[in-house]
Amino acid sequence: MNRRWELDLLRGLMLVLMYITHMPTRFSSMLGQPFGYVSAAEGFVMLSAFMAGMIYTSKAERDGIPAMRNAFLARALKIYACHAALLLLLFTIIAALGISRDEPALKNLIGFYLEQPLAGLTGGLLLIYNPPLLDILPLYIVLMLVSPIVLERGLKHGWRGILAVSIVLWAVSQFAVSEKMYDAFVTVTDLQVPYKETGAFETFAWQFLWILGLWMGALTATGQMKNRKPFSRALITACLAFAMPLLIWRYIAGQVPVEGESIINHLFDKWHLGPFRLLNFFALLILIMHFGEWLKAHVPRLPFLQTLGAASLPVFCMHLVAVLLALSVYGESTPQRAVWTDVMLLFGGLACLYVAALITLRFDAEARPKTRTAPG
C-alpha cells in the first residue's frame, strides 16, 4: 500500500503541535489549539484511526480476517512496549534527575508514584495509573485492541449500529459515568490508584473519534468514499460561520473560552470531548474534506512534516522523552527564563524528533525487503 503524503504531512503537523504544546516554553500557550477550540490530539487520534481503517481493511480483504486481527494485536503490543519503556524511563532516570534538582513540575507529575512506588509501577504497567503526558498511549492501546472486533463487524454487517452505539457511549460519557464505574470497581478490588490518576482522556468519549476515523478509513479502502456526494454550499457556509468566530475568540480569550467556572467551558471540555468542541472539530473536518483537493494542489509538501508523520509512533515517544527531560531539568516555563533557552529547547527537541524519524524510516526500509511485510 502506497503512502499518502498528505496524511503523513497532517500527522507530522499534529505531532509538532503536540510537542510545542507539551514542551515547557513560553511558546506553548500561544501555539496550543491554533485552529480554534480543537487540539492536535483530536486530529492525531482521528488520523491514526483513519489510517488503521484503511490499512487493516485492505489487509482483511487481501489476507483474511484472522490476519487482520493478528496485525492489530501485533501493533497494540508494539505500542504497549513503547508505553512500558516510557514508564520505566520516567520512574527511574527522569524521576532521579527531577528529584536531584528538586523540580516541582516533575515531582508533581509523578506524585502518586513517589508516594506509592509499587502501586504506581504495577498500575502503570496494567494501564490503570496514567501520569499526565503518558495517558494517550494507553487509550491508543485499548482502542487498537477493540478495533479488530469493530472492523470485522463493520465489514460484515455494516456500520450503522456501530456508529449508533459509539454516539450513545459519547453521550453517556458527558455525565461522569466512568468515574462512577471506577469507584464501583475500586470498592470490589480495593485498588489503590485514585480515579484522578487514571489519565485525563475519557475513553468513552474519545472512542467516538476513533470509531469515526476507523469507519472512514474502511470506506476509503473499499472505494466507497469515492462515491460520496459533495458537501452542500449551505453546509460549508454553516461550518465557516461556526469555525471562524471560534478561531477568533480563541485568540481573544485564550485557550479557555470563559474565565472561571462556566457551563460554556464544560461544553468545550477537551477530556470529555464536550459537544461544542466536537462541533468545532466536525466543522474543521468538513472544511478540510471539502477543500482537500485544492489544498493538495497548492500546499507545499513540507518533507520535514512528512518524515515525522511517516514515523509517528517513534516520534511521539521521542517527543515525550524530550518533554520529560525538559521538565526534570528546567521545570515549568517562567517569564524569568531567557528567551534563548526556550528557543533552544524548542528547536533542539524538534531536531531530536526528526533524527528519530530518519532512523526509524531507515530501519524500516532495510527490513521491508527481507520480511516483505505490509506497511502499517
Question: What backbone phi and psi angles, to 5 degrees, belong to 306?
Answer: -60, -40
Q: Is residue 123 in some structural domain? A: yes
Whole-structure pTM over 0.75, yes or no?
A: yes
Which residue range(s) make up the domain with 286?
Answer: 5-371
Amino acid at 26: R
| Residue among 43, 294, 55, 30 at smallest CA distance from 151 | 55
The answer to whether residues 342 and 26 touch, using CB atoms and an 8 Å cutoff, is: yes
Q: Is residue 339 in some structural domain? A: yes
Q: Is residue 229 in some structural domain? A: yes
Quick count: other Cβ atoms within 10 Å of Cβ 341? 14
Taking only the tens of pLDDT, the chain with its 376 residues reads 567 899 999 999 999 999 999 999 999 988 889 899 999 999 999 999 999 999 999 999 999 999 999 999 999 999 999 999 999 999 999 999 999 999 999 999 999 999 999 999 999 999 999 999 999 999 999 999 999 999 999 999 999 999 999 999 999 999 888 888 898 888 888 888 999 999 999 999 999 999 999 999 999 999 888 877 889 999 999 999 999 999 999 999 999 999 888 899 999 999 999 999 999 999 999 999 999 889 998 888 899 999 999 999 999 999 999 999 999 999 999 888 999 999 999 999 999 999 999 999 999 888 876 544 444 4
Q: Is residue 57 in some structural domain? A: yes
Question: What backbone phi and psi angles, to 5 degrees, belong to 230?
Answer: -60, 150
DSSP state at residue 224: G
Q: Is residue 338 in some structural domain? A: yes
Q: Is residue 212 in some structural domain? A: yes
Q: Kindly report each contact of residues 74-80 with a partner whose C-beta sits within 8 Å and lies 24 or more positions away, as own/partner.
A: 75/144, 75/376, 76/141, 76/144, 76/145, 78/313, 79/137, 79/140, 79/141, 79/144, 79/313, 80/141
Domain tally, the chain: 1
| Residue among 213, 224, 64 at smallest CA distance from 144 | 213
| Residue among 334, 324, 318 at smallest CA distance from 95 | 324
Q: Is residue 301 in some structural domain? A: yes
Q: Is residue 376 in some structural domain? A: no
